[in-house]
Chain A
């Protein structure tokens, strides 16, 4: 069974750094792209970017370029989403997703709620 299991909820202060994770199992992790999607409270879904575990370069949405860093450690089947200096506007639920061989976004993680408040 394909599973994407994300790290738990985080409560941070503005200016803090943060790295959340997404561990894939039930499939060959290194053969599928992993992406990240943001959902702000009460709002819709926004594409952030995607990375291929066997490749070096993540591809970011222009809206998120320079704001976050996407990385992967294929040795432990885990993808990451990272901030160096959080803002209140980063408060959201973040989902990791898998992209299939046919470019289909088919599986979603359970989501990681990030709350940024002073």
Chain B
């Protein structure tokens, strides 16, 4: 059901910057804002970024988001061990009339 494509995994050493891409289409990312969710091991997903580049209260400014056309990306600066987990992009799809999620990216801190 995933119509948003993400790389399966990214990795980095502590302190590095990693980026996660999210590729969609005209009816989802191209028409609506992108949100990102972080799912730590064994936990429920949590909102990490909304409206392309806005952080909810309490989210570290090490996380940043951007969107251009039908793609979006999430960057993590100063990677920390606690950042290890799965990350999902998401957006409403006007054609399917559902909320679509990305395929998910596993972030590994080496």
CB of B92 closer than 8 Å to a CB of A: yes
Please report whether the interface of chain B is mostly helix, strand, loop or mixed according to DSSP.
strand
CB of B68 closer than 8 Å to a CB of A: no
Of the listed stretches B58-66, B75-83, B95-103, chain A binds B95-103
Q: Chain B residues near A59 (CB, 8 Å)?
A: 97
Please report whether the interface of chain A is mostly helix, strand, loop or mixed according to DSSP.
strand
In the bound complex, what is the Cα–Cα distance between A105 and B89 (angstroms)? 12
In the bound complex, what is the Cα–Cα distance between A31 and B37 (angstroms)? 23
Q: With A109-B44, A110-B44 as known contacts, state yes or no: A45 contacts B104, CB within 8 Å.
A: yes
Residue tally, chain A, CB below 8 Å to B: 22
In the bound complex, what is the Cα–Cα distance between A111 and B88 (angstroms)? 17
Q: With A45-B104, A61-B1, A63-B1 as known contacts, state yes or no: A105 contacts B99, CB within 8 Å.
A: yes
How far in angstroms is the closest Cβ of chain A from B21?
A: 16
CB of A95 closer than 8 Å to a CB of B: yes
Q: Which of A50, A104, A108 contacts B44 (CB 8 A)?
A: A108
In the bound complex, what is the Cα–Cα distance between A95 and B101 (angstroms)? 14
Which 9 pairs, one residue from A and one from B, show the smallest C-beta to C-beta distance?
A45-B101, A44-B104, A47-B99, A108-B44, A61-B98, A47-B98, A46-B1, A111-B44, A104-B50
Contacts A47-B98, A61-B98, A105-B47 supplied; 15 other A-B pairs, CB < 8 Å: A44-B2, A44-B102, A45-B37, A45-B88, A45-B101, A46-B1, A47-B1, A47-B99, A95-B44, A95-B45, A103-B92, A108-B44, A108-B45, A108-B46, A110-B44
Residues in B lying within 8 Å of A, measured CB to CB: 1-2, 32, 35, 37, 44-47, 50-51, 56, 88, 90, 92, 96-104
